Amino acid sequence: MQASPSGTRTVPKRERWKLWAIILVCAAPAIASYLSYYVIKPQGRNNYGDLLDPRRYPIPDLAATTLDGKPASLKDYRGKWILLDVGSGDCDAACQKRLYYTRQLRLAQGKEMDRIERVWLITDDKPVDTMLIREYDGMRMLRVDAAKVQSWLPAQTGAMPAEHMYIIDPLGNLMMRFPRDADPNKVKKDIAKLLRASSIG
């Protein structure tokens, strides 16, 4: 370093370039990760399910009751991840397939499965088959106002909420929708990623 006429030291240009080169090398990983996440957006970052903005879909009062007529609410399950199904009480083949997938998706999470609740919103007064209730023991079955569910849950164009599976996070936010005829293996990976990334629920 050289002393200036005033007595302070000045940094030669070559030294300044070295300093900037060191700063750039140190900052390169952060810059690269920023570019890859926000600009390049690699495929590996994509979810199979559609992420939903919870501000657009706050959970309404669904006037829910249990099968035996007691008042109930989705808020009763706050603190858990909720796998949500919707359908008629007579539950056709497509409905039964979704209920089966929901049960298996929870079991597939192994030691993490206790963080998950399964909820089936039944949108009419049709009786639920006793064998179905036994087969899906542990699933929360709630009768709800069909119009409120229809206006709350977003569906793909040309689809109905009953054709999708949804996820509600432990804070009570509707946050993901899976496509019609969803691939259960891809759904399982999304759920596993959510559970790994979250310290709640």
Domains of the chain: 2-43 (no CATH), 50-197 (3.40.30.10)
Please choose, from the candidates 195, 180, 192, the residue with its C-alpha nearest in 3D space to the C-alpha of residue 97.
180
- In this predicted model, which residue has the larger pLDDT, 6 or 169? 169
Checking if the pLDDT of 184 tops 80, the result is yes
Checking if the pLDDT of 14 tops 80, the result is no
Instruction: With cut-offs at 50, 70 and 90, classify the pLDDT of residue 40.
Output: very low
The arithmetic mean of pLDDT across residues 124-130, rounded, is 96
Buried b (16+ CB within 10 A) or exposed e, 94-107: ebeebbebbbebbe
Please list, in sequence order, all residues whose beta carbon lies within 8 angstroms of the beta carbon of residue 133, skipping any fewer than 6 positions away.
Answer: 67, 141
- Can you read off the two tokens belonging to residue 145? 């106002």
Instruction: With cut-offs at 50, 70 and 90, classify the pLDDT of residue 42.
Output: very low
The arithmetic mean of pLDDT across residues 5-29, rounded, is 64
The arithmetic mean of pLDDT across residues 165-189, rounded, is 95
- DSSP strand pairing (81-87 vs 116-122): parallel
Q: What is the CA radius of gyration of the chain?
A: 26
- DSSP strand pairing (165-168 vs 140-143): unpaired
Neighbours of 47 (CB within 10 A): 13
d(CA 124, CA 101): 22
Lowest mean pLDDT among 26-30, 111-115, 150-154: 26-30
Checking if the pLDDT of 29 tops 80, the result is no
Instruction: With cut-offs at 50, 70 and 90, classify the pLDDT of residue 31.
Output: low
* pLDDT tens readout for residues 147-157: 999 999 999 99
Checking if the pLDDT of 197 tops 80, the result is yes
Instruction: Give the percent of the chain with pLDDT over 70.
Output: 82
7 sits in the region (left: phi over 0; alpha: psi -120 to 50; else beta) called: left
